[in-house]
Structure 1
Amino acid sequence: MSEPENPRAEAGHDIPQKNEQLIDRLDWNLLRTFIAIAHEGNITRAAGSLHLTQSAVSQALKRLEKQIGYALIVRNGSRFTLSSHGEKVLRLASDIYGSIKAISNEIEPVAEEVGGHIRLLTLSSIESLTYDTFLARFHERFPRISLEIVCIRSEDILSSLQKKTANIGIGLCPRALPGIGRSLIMEQSYGLYCGRSHRFFGRNDITIRELKQENFVRSEADRIDGLLSKITIFRNEMDFSGWISGTSCSIQEITRMIVANYGIGCLPEHIAQPWVDAGKLWRLPPASGVAKSGIFLLWNHDGRYSNSERVFLEQFQSYLQAYPPISDEKKSGPVFPTINAG
């Protein structure tokens, strides 16, 4: 049998040409997006980690699948798994991305040369070893980045992020919000306390029933539509009917009013404990606590970040991933992670 006039006409001989076309048109940023999708196991979480919208990540996946010519994920309702081609692409893309990152690391500026200013909106009275250690290590690594910390209510932090008048904040955010990314810094457990002048101070025989008609000092966020609605729900479920005798957005002022016997009130346990040890506050039932609420690093997915803001956000996110919060105030300082500072 004679050889065919055109060897490429045989099955499989068009593959090199197809591979050359793929190399020419493949967008490497799509591979980075696919790596995030595969690692997060969820389109929404991948969008958060990349500071992109969910729609943008979904479209990037479709473009990559079109360029490669194969489906990379197998959908099962709201969940998905990687296809066999997806697993191969993930393995190869991770190698490629590692090589690209190595190039970036070789030419990135020295951390000490990165300068700029960061305006950080934060809830007041955050007592967190994780947060404190991060700030100290970050300043050591980036001494030319100045930091402005503005203390406001968590509601105002979220509003500023949503309106894009700020890019980064730290505060309460019990629910996922459109356009807002969040990473847990610490979880606060709230207990119920009274001051030294209260008739229940020093007593271990108090029951929940005896507390129902007591005056109550509360946070402004302690309302059914507020960020501390879990405390409101607790009071409603326990049928608390006492007068709201004091309100503040400041933990210090709430503590001050409880100590001054305006009423009983809820405080984060780790903040209240030094006052208990000093004999100025007394822990009331329930022993298991009233509620838990997380303090989060917050950011706008579509924010226009300066280089210093981007470095701060990337470093903080990487730090929290490397050392996730467990029981925040019992931790020792974690090792500061090394990431691209460019």
Structure 2
Amino acid sequence: MSAPNRNYDPVEVTTLSADAVERATSEALAAISAAATLEELKEARLAHAGDKAPLSLARAEIGALPPQARADAGRRVGAAIAQVRDALTARQEQLERERDEQVLITERVDVTLPYDRLPAGARHPVSMLADKLSDVFVAMGYEVAEGPEVEAEWYNFDALNFLPDHPAREMQDTLFVAAPEDAPPGTRSGLVMRTHTSPVQIRSLLTRPLPLYVVSPGKVYRNEALDATHLPVFYQIECLAVDEGLTMADLRGAIQAFVDALFGTGLRTRLRPDYFPFTEPSADVSMECHVCRTESTKPGADPCRVCRSQGWIEIAGCGMVNPRVLVACGIDPDRYSGFAFGLGIERSLMLANGINEIRDTYDGDVRFSRAFGMEI
């Protein structure tokens, strides 16, 4: 920048001429007006309002004018800079407003669109029923017990009074994982996929103090052909109570509570003699048909598909815990007695809801699960 002229000689500064200032102002206003985006406006600001812009350089040269010429040049340049600044501010506001309007258009959410275009999922009815049955016994003071699905033969068979030649221990009924000679070091028992949840009861008897009241839902495995009423992998729930003075009357009461919770109150139950290695005496549990209430057995009545017009439905096996099982777990059978019963959860679901095909429970069709509602 040139130094002030103190000799009052005429000094011609071309950047301060009226034509130059007007031309720089016009170029700046044209560039600002032509900026279509905020990024282009930023470039125009640097070019026409930055430190090296023509108007900025003109303002720096005012000091080189004679004193009598500075005021006029200062007003002329100051007015031009203010005009450019105002144009930048106005264009900035306009472009930001257009940007915001565009965002509202491109990112707009149409709240009138259907909200359920993706169907809602649902918990599996088998899981819901297992939780419901467990809750029934938890409310009665029972504890929920769990155990491994790959189980030692001793827990799955020997401790439950299955003799070595019992048919259930054959390969056509049980899925074997390892033979005794292939079992982990330190064990003399083979490994199987558990065929029932009764091993959980054995583990509970060995690890929990008496008296003992447990319910054990879980997955079991059997070497069975898949058909309308059988699955090779299914769920069971078993109940075990061991205490002083328990009798068949206590067992009957627990079974009735279970039936009332699953099918509603007012249905009769009956026990008929049966055989299970781990209970003695043993019985199968039947309940009055919850659909026909035995009316289908009367002459001239309409047939009932659920009970096949027999009036009763077999739902579970039960009995008093065999003393040999108590001895195997180190419990004095002369002091303690117990009862147990168990059933398949899928079959209970079929009975309660009139399902004829057990494979429907595992086809993976969400429409099947949604029909049972959504429970937490």
Classify the TM-score, shorter chain: under 0.3
Computing the radius of gyration from Cα coordinates, the structure with the larger value is 2
